[in-house]
């Protein structure tokens, strides 16, 4: 099957490689976002998909607007049977969809209709979902609302961060996309309509979404920490016994004693855990401002953490 592949982030790379390796499909064009400044030096950096396309010797173009006339002309010239969209980052208009016999198909990182939006993987963890998955669906005007072709589910591990879950879902996506393309092999394919009554939203994350409120219960805080890693991260302020403050991002944690209520939320307990509004939080990894990611043990030693230390919310 002739495919125009639209992608930018890491999530689509495994699928792109699988499509080129199988022999049943032909990638006639890869479309990605333009290179952007990255790092302290602000060096222009191409997208991961752009790099992968170069390694696979695939024709590729970076576009600021896939719906612009020059983009539409390039897609039409590639003569796709399907436009496949994975982690692309731009809205696909009706004209793009109309350039392929099977329209445009998106691979979404949730079990639709739940968690429609830009950050389904993050919000699945933040909201404490026990299961999530991937869904392929036809792109329509309304966001993530088209008919579904294939859904693949997986459990979420309590210790899993959004970064780790994203990597696992990228593997599930390969299976879902290949199955979906197989459905199209016999001609036009009708998917299953979504149940609008079950729809929920997963909006793009803001930096403020990572701010930790230690008066919440430990499980809720752990979910926030894991769901926002690596960006914006679980943000807090460490205050030493001497009153010195350090901004930190907590990257990994474990919830304990979830039923115990604590009036001194944020206080460091004798065993090195943090008292929460309910339960305690065992920090596993933490990143002080301007420093590397480190284990809790290294942080305790480096910052001489001891009795009287506490964690507080980031000031507004």
pLDDT tens-place string over residues 288-303 = 999 999 999 999 999 9
pLDDT digits (tens, 9 = 90+) for 13-23: 999 999 999 78
Residues 6+ apart with CB under 8 A from 286: 248, 249, 250, 251, 293, 294, 295, 296, 299
* SS3 category, 105: strand
* pLDDT band with cut points at 50, 70 and 90 for residue 113: very high
Three-state secondary structure call for residue 305: coil
Which pair of structure tokens corresponds to residue 186?
Answer: 């016999």
Residue 41 pLDDT:
77
Asked whether the predicted pLDDT for residue 285 surpasses 90, the reply is yes
Distance CA 118, CA 120 (A): 6
Q: Please say whether the beta carbons of 60 and 48 come within 8 A.
A: no
**Count of all residues that appear for the chain in the document:** 316
pTM: 0.95
What is the pLDDT, as a whole number, of residue 34? 97
pLDDT above 90 (res 260): no
Structural domains in the chain, sorted by start: 2-198 (3.40.50.170), 207-312 (3.10.25.10)
Torsion angle in degrees (nearest 10) through CA of 22, 108, 126, 45: 70
Alpha-carbon distance values, 224 to 158, 193, 208 (Å): 11, 32, 11
CA distance 213 to 138: 39
Residue whose C-alpha is closest to residue 221's, from 125, 299, 119, 121 = 125
Nearest Cα neighbor of 314 from 218, 248, 226, 269 is: 248
- Rounded CA-CA distance 152/133 in Å is 5
Asked if pLDDT for residue 312 goes beyond 80, the answer is: yes
Asked whether residue 254 carries a pLDDT value surpassing 90, the answer given is yes
Q: Which long-range contacts (CB under 8 A, 24 or more apart) does 40-49 make?
A: 47/7, 47/8, 47/9, 48/8, 48/9, 48/10, 48/13, 49/5, 49/7, 49/8, 49/9, 49/12, 49/13, 49/16, 49/87
CA 55 from centre of chain: 24
């Amino acid at each position: 099957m002739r495919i125009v592949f639209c992608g930018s982030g890491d999530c689509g790379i495994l699928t792109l490689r699988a499509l080129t390796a199988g022999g049943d499909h032909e990638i006639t064009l890869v479309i990605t976002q333009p290179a952007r400044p990255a790092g302290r030096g602000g060096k222009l950096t191409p997208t991961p998909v752009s790099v992968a396309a170069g390694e696979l010797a695939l024709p590729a173009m970076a576009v600021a607007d896939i719906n612009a006339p020059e983009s539409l002309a390039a897609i039409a010239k590639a003569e796709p049977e399907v436009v496949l969209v994975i982690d692309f980052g731009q809205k696909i208009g009706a004209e793009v969809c109309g350039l392929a016999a099977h329209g445009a198909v998106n691979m979404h990182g949730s079990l639709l209709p739940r968690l429609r939006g830009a950050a389904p993987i993050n919000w699945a963890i933040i909201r404490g979902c026990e299961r999530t998955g991937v869904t392929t669906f036809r792109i329509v005007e309304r966001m993530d609302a088209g008919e579904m072709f294939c859904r693949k589910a997986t459990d979420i591990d309590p210790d899993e961060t959004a970064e780790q879950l994203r990597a696992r879902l990228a593997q599930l996506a390969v299976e879902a996309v290949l199955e979906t393309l197989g459905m199209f092999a016999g001609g036009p394919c009708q998917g299953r309509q979504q149940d609008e009554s079950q729809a929920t939203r997963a909006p793009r994350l803001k930096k403020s979404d990572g701010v930790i409120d230690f008066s919440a219960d430990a499980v809720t805080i752990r979910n926030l920490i894991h769901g926002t890693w690596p960006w914006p991260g679980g943000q807090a302020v460490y205050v030493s016994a001497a009153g010195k403050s350090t901004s930190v991002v907590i990257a990994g944690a474990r919830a304990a004693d979830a039923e115990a209520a604590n009036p001194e939320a944020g206080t460091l307990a004798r065993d090195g855990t943090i008292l929460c509004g309910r339960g305690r939080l065992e920090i596993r990894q933490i990143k002080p401002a301007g420093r590397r990611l480190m284990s809790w043990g290294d942080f305790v030693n480096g910052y001489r953490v001891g009795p009287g230390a506490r964690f507080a919310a980031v000031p507004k």
